[in-house]
Chains A and B, each alone.
Chain A
Amino acid sequence: MKKKVLYSLKSPYREQLDVIGFRFGHGKKSAAIVGAMRGNEVQQMYVCSRMVQELKKLEAKGLIAEDNEIMVIPCVNYYSMNIGKRFWAMDNTDINRMFPGYWQGETTQRIADGLFSKIQGYEYGIQLASFYQQGNFLPHVKMMNTGFTSPELLKNFGLQFGIIRKPRPYDTTTLNYNWQVWETKAFSVYANATDDIDENAADEAVYAILRFLDKQGIVSANTPPGYITKIIDESKTKQIRSEASGIFKSLIEIGKRVERGDILGIISDPFEGEVVSEIRSPVSGTVYFEYFAPLINSNTVCFKIIK
């Protein structure tokens, strides 16, 4: 393993920001794995730190295939992580909305450029992604359908679901999208939590990435058997939104199968305690997202069901 500073940025008042990469094996650029780009993506950083541990062991045993290099970048934006901010602390911009970056541009454009120049050219790119809303996900892998990456590759992660997303205009400045534009087959792995560490979901994410690397012939790793991945289009999943506001309580666990009409959660009046809304599933399927916060506004996505 080689630990390298991939990009540095001076601060007027803090120690220099060093974006650290851990390089395993050598030769052809096979896979780059990127963790936290936002200050609250603790789980995403944690999964990468676990990958560093696993790859160290594989490298020591000679189980990284010859002529293959893997790069792991656990955390890009620890400046924000250390002061409890989600986005870049100075101007609240999101590094994951600045790709491919610009070396003469604004600060977060420069960070994006500095990072992207070092993770371009890999055959596969894996980002540990988070969702903007508070909630828990069933671990799954997602790809943007740009026409470049084959959806069949999603199956090699062995997670229960592989989700294909049609890019929207605001997606065009994300790492995942730009990786594909620069001919890296890119995937986003969702490991359930963001601000907190979920050990079980981290295990699943680490095994899924190792399984993928193994299937692609980059490493030789023993992992627990995976799922036969069901590939679905995100537009075909059912989003259930709150019809009222108040105190939210989920009555179902993610990953559970539900039938049409089953009650998934309740919303109660924050002052009087009366139940003001019962949230029922309009379809039969598997719950793969649940909102996770005590308070909920109206029209908030509180569950997502894979039919």
Chain B
Amino acid sequence: MIETIATAALAVNENLNIQKRRIENGKSKKRLSLVTGTHGDELEGQYLAYIVGSYLDEHIDCLDGIVDIYPALNPMGIDSITRGVPMFDLDMNRVFPGSKDGTMIEMLCSMIVDDISGSDVCVDVHSSNIFLKEIPQIRMSVPTAPTLLPYAKMMNVDFICIHDAATVLESTLAHTLNTRGTKTLVVEMGVGMRITKEYCKQLFDGIFNLLKELGMWSGETAPVREPIVSEGREVGFVNSDAAGIFVPCVSFGETVEKGNHIGDVVDPLSSKTVEKVNAVCDGMIFTLREYPVVYGGSLLARILQPAAGGVEK
């Protein structure tokens, strides 16, 4: 069943509609919500929504409960390759929980929260941005980790990042839902404006494993991987200090040692290497720049340090 959960009239002959599809079978009222498309330039979740929904359709007898799929919380953004909400210059994920009596976007956000609230688990899928590629990972704040970590480990991601709480993140969908008691996992994977089928399949396996653990799925599932958890580990940030074109010489997911050459920033006009980029610490490269043009400060890579020193093989 496809349902419009929030709507607002646009200026000329059109409504902005936020839709979900409910897939339901059996007697259980347990509910998993799969949410994506908050940022219009993040598309990994689009394919994931498709493969999860179509697999459920084909194996509906194995489902006992409700799966709600929200593919596009920011439909105008996806339609116009705009990260934020077009015309508003706003990052939708800084407007939650919204307000019923607020502006158009605040009202829509409030309706979204009301609709998802009460799910047993919500999976909010993001895909970095157009600049950076990320390995499949789940991010959570320290205060939510005791509740969320067991569920995150079911999701077949490579990495779970537990970060400090930040006031500015209190206006995200995940913070709002977690505060209201709906366990919400934020997934980051892949890169903006592209679909990485292998990552979508990896998370697909995680979602069906989660459904099984929740008692909502009796069909086949694939074994899930044990994620690296960031607790007790440091993350090294490699930022460019020069302006130019970044050309990496390492692969995504590779382990490196401090000082290893990981790429160059080059100047196409002078044909010079303007910065030789080295690893700032030992560890695994879990974020790598995809978009080549860089300024001073552009993030080139993130490196996850091993728990007790040394390089993780």
Contact = CB atoms under 8 A, between A and B. Distances in A.
A104 B295 contact: no
Interface residues of B, number: 39
A242 B267 CA distance: 51
Interface stretch (B61-69, B86-94, B221-229): B86-94
Interface string B269-313: 000000000000000000000000111111100000000000000
B296 A297 contact: no
Interface in A1-38: 9-12
Nearest to B268: A12
A270 B167 contact: no
B171 interface: yes
A200 interface: no
A271 B11 CA distance: 11
Nearest to B129: A91
Interface stretch (B46-54, B116-124, B181-189, B240-248): B240-248
B295 A296 contact: no
A169 B170 contact: yes
Contacts of A11: 243, 295
Given A169-B168, A170-B171, A172-B167, A298 B8 contact: yes
B139 interface: no
B88 A169 contact: no
Contacts of B9: 244-245, 297-298
A133 B103 CA distance: 11
B168 A270 contact: no
Contacts of A12: 243-245, 267, 293-295
B171 A10 contact: no
Nearest to A293: B11
Given A86-B89, A170-B171, A297 B10 contact: yes
Interface stretch (A49-57, A69-77, A105-113, A149-157): A105-113
Contacts of B171: 168-170
Contacts of A301: 103
B13 interface: yes
B25 interface: no
A170 B168 contact: yes
Given A10-B295, A172-B168, A299-B107, 6 more contacts: A97-B168, A104-B237, A245-B10, A245-B12, A297-B16, A300-B103
Interface of A: 9-12, 86-87, 90-92, 97, 104-111, 132-133, 168-170, 172-173, 241, 244-247, 270-271, 295-301
